[in-house]
Each structure stands twice: as structure tokens, then as C-alpha cells.
Chains A and B, each alone.
Chain A
């Protein structure tokens, strides 16, 4: 829930991408459904619809509505003495983009609401082509205001602010290679714990077990640097690779690597892929606290772990169907597994993410 700025910045970048990729269509409509389920008793069903209109060649207007339905009886929930919970999140996004031959700029606003969280995000992203379109430089920023609540407790009200900045460069390295580098910075200030998580430890002075709400620092600075390399190998086919390094002021250090082979076969597209991730825990995280500390958390996302995702994406595109310029259908099938090294309540987690998308573009 601390990532609205990333979402807005991402949406703004996506608008920039759509400006390049879909300059010709006057309107596009896309819908998508997804199901996430894992062995930790969590299921998330997501549906989204997005429309983009290009009233004049240099201007794009974009809107999206998304709904998440979450049900969980995960170890987090059960350890908080709650049998399970269900929640629904609504999110609306609006964006406006302008581009000419060398420049693009887009702005995005996102409003998200659920029973214990409400956020407003604004983002602005610009890009500029230089050196005869050999180099594209992008810069973006965002700000998010979050109101954090606690279900069933009207008196609980916290605030979390987040700002972010992204700087990117993409280079045409050869007629078969595109490389890019992106640096992202996030700064968060405010309530970043979960009001539902409690840390248990044994108080040696009172000789009694103690349970208290988790506490983490109010401020967090996060840095990510990612490099991307797309290499064309055959007609409509490419190898796509990405690596990312990440550090933050809480002591979390991580590395990510992914590779995708994207094959174009006539109107069809097949893309098997794999992604691996490793993380070192936050400095204040412990699997078992022996006494009271200033900062204490049982957030497994702050622990040390490895994970791997992999799957296949299947796509179909058909162009020139009368008034419909392009029809798109795609299916994503993803499996994943986690191994936690110092989270005593859960050593492993596996799961599945499936997506089905359908889109139309009109001239």
C-alpha cells in the first residue's frame, strides 16, 4: 500500500509507451481479468478496463477502472487472531498525454479506496529524443497522499506521504539491440507498519509473553537501478533481459534478474519467461525477538528470502478487421515459489497467477 507513486509513475510511463506504440488508432479499449492464489490461503481476483482516445494526433486521453477482491486466511491474518478477511479495493486512473516528433509528456492521477485505506496520487513524466532518435531520456516524478485506517476501529487514523523520482535513458545500440537504464528513488514519510500485525516476545523482567503492535521507522529512502537489453533474433522475435539492484535505508538489499524469449509466429505470439529474486532482510528484522526493541516487525516481506517466477505468455493480434484496426487477445500463465530463511511461521510459499486480456483498437 506504499506504492501509489510507483503505480502513477508507471501509468505515466505506460502512457508514453502507448503514445509511441499506438499513435495511429483513434481509440483503444482493453479489458483484463486476473486470478492470484497461493498456498498461504490468499486469493485475489482483479478486473480492469482501460480506454484510450486520441482526438488529435498529438494528444492522448486515458482512463482506467480497476477492482481487486481479496480474501485471505494467510499466516499473517491467522497470527493476528482473525480467522480470515475479505476486502474490495476500487481504483480509478485518468491520464493526459502530449507528444510531438521529439518530445512526450504525460500526467496521471490515481484515486484508490478500500475499507482501511484511501490514497491520491499525481505523477508527471517527460521524455525527449536526441541524437536523431538514437537516445531517449525520460524523467518523472510523483507524489502520493495516503490515509491509513484500521478495519473496525474508527479512532485509528494515520498518514503516509510518498514522493518519487525516476530518471531513464534508452539507447539504440545497433539495428538489433535496444538497451536502457532506469534509476528510481522513493522517499516515504509516515505510518508504514501494518495495524494488524503484532510482534510477540518473552519479557524476561516480567517473565511473561508480550504481544505488541509492530513498529518500523517512519521514514524510508529507496533506490532501484535497472538495466534492460532487448535483442532482436529472428523475424518478430527477441530475447528480452533485465537486471535490477535495490537498496534502502532500512537495510533491505535485493537483486532481480529476468529473461524472456518472445517469438512472433504470424498473428500469434509465444513468450516463455523466468524471473528470479533474492533479498537480504531489513536490519531491524528478526525471526524471533528475545526482548523489546525500538523497531520490531513480523513482516515477511522484510525478511531474507529467495523467489522465482516463470511462465508463458500467449498472444494473438489480428489487424484490419473493418472498423477495427486491431484485435488483441492474450493469456498469461505464471507459477511461482518462495523460500523464506528466517520467517518461522512460513518456510515456503507457492502459487499461481493467471491473466486473460482482450483489446480492440479503432481507426
Chain B
């Protein structure tokens, strides 16, 4: 799939799923650690490190990854 198609999908996704407006005072649950995009960046980074070098794929996670010293 070409990059511009994927970019278009991102835009469509973002603009069509955000139609349920949630006021700021009703977002307390969304601010909890369990709802963060990545609540434990260092821990997730170490795990991503393993995935990146034990699998043939990379990307999509938006967190720390890579590097094991074994080329």
C-alpha cells in the first residue's frame, strides 16, 4: 500500500471517529495512567528492543525500540 493512501486513512479515521464530543470535565478516566498511550515508556522500550531484533518487522508502536548489539 502506498504511503499517501495510508496517510489518507489516518485522516479519515481521525475525523470520523472523534464525533462524540466529551467535555473536559468528563475526561477524568481518560487521564488515568492505565489510559495513557504508553504508561511505562522504559519498560515498553525494553520489550520493543526484543521484538525489533527477533522479528522481521518494525514500527507502528511510537515507543522506544531497537538495538541489541548482534548484527
Chain A contact residues, CB within 8 Å of chain B: 1, 3-4, 6-7, 9-11, 13-14, 17-18, 20-21, 30, 32, 34, 36, 42, 44, 46, 48, 50, 66, 68, 70, 72, 87-89, 91, 112, 114, 116-117, 131-135, 137-138, 148, 164, 166-176, 178-186, 194-196, 222-226, 228, 230, 232, 236-238, 240, 242, 244, 246-248, 252, 254, 256, 262, 264, 269, 277, 279, 282, 301-302, 307, 309, 313, 315, 317, 330, 332, 334, 338, 353, 355, 357
Interface of A is mostly: strand
On whether A172 and B18 interact (CB within 8 A), knowing A236-B32, A301-B55, the answer reads yes
On whether A175 and B30 interact (CB within 8 A), knowing A10-B61, A182-B60, the answer reads yes
Q: A132 to B20, alpha carbons, bound, how many Å?
A: 12
Min distance, Cβ A229 to any Cβ of chain B, angstroms? 10
Chain B contact residues, CB within 8 Å of chain A: 1, 3, 6-7, 9-11, 13-15, 17-18, 20-22, 24, 26-27, 29-30, 32-43, 45-71
Q: Is there an interface contact between B62 and A13, defined as CB atoms closer than 8 Å?
A: yes
Q: Is there an interface contact between B42 and A48, defined as CB atoms closer than 8 Å?
A: yes
Closest 8 CB pairs of A and B: A226-B60, A184-B59, A3-B66, A224-B59, A169-B14, A89-B69, A224-B60, A10-B64
Q: Is there an interface contact between B18 and A246, defined as CB atoms closer than 8 Å?
A: no
Q: Is there an interface contact between B59 and A330, defined as CB atoms closer than 8 Å?
A: no
Contact of B63 among A10, A247, A307 (CB under 8 A): A10
Other A-B pairs, 5, CB within 8 Å; known A70-B70, A222-B59, A225-B9: A30-B42, A44-B69, A254-B55, A313-B40, A353-B46
Q: Is there an interface contact between A307 and B55, defined as CB atoms closer than 8 Å?
A: yes
Cross-chain pair count, CB within 8 angstroms: 255
Within 8 Å CB of B15, what residues of A? 135
22 pairs across A/B with beta carbons < 8 Å?
Answer: A1-B67, A1-B71, A3-B52, A3-B58, A6-B65, A44-B69, A68-B69, A132-B24, A171-B17, A178-B30, A180-B37, A183-B3, A183-B60, A223-B59, A226-B62, A232-B30, A246-B59, A248-B57, A264-B32, A269-B33, A332-B47, A338-B54
